[in-house]
Amino acid sequence: MANHKATKKDVRQSEKRRDRNRYYGKTTRNAIRALLATDNKTEAQEGLSKVVAMIDKLAKRNVIHKNKANNLKSGLVKRINAIA
């Protein structure tokens, strides 16, 4: 365990960040699953903007890499456009 005051603080901060990042990541993954489960194209397009915003926010906060965010968004757009 940490001995220095600053190291103990860093451990506390990293635990908080980890919990926060896990929450936002899980929430985004659930939103993606819900979006992919919809069969209605108009609903899917409305939900797409919200999910894209969530993905962009994860990339901005460095929870996921920016290239992964772009790949996720690209795949979602392809899937939504394929809905007949």
Going residue by residue through the chain (84 aa), what tens digit of pLDDT does each one get?
A: 678 999 999 999 999 999 999 999 999 999 999 999 999 999 999 999 999 999 999 999 999 999 999 999 999 999 999 987
Q: What is the predicted pLDDT for the residue at 80?
A: 94
21 phi, psi to nearest 5 deg: -65, -40
Q: In the chain, what are the domain boundaries?
A: 5-82
Q: What is the predicted pLDDT for the residue at 1?
A: 66
Q: What is the predicted pLDDT for the residue at 2?
A: 73
Q: Which long-range contacts (CB under 8 A, 24 or more apart) does 41-50 make?
A: 41/80, 41/83, 41/84, 44/80, 44/83, 45/80, 48/76, 48/77, 48/80
- CATH topology classification for 5-82: Methane Monooxygenase Hydroxylase; Chain G, domain 1 (1.20.58)
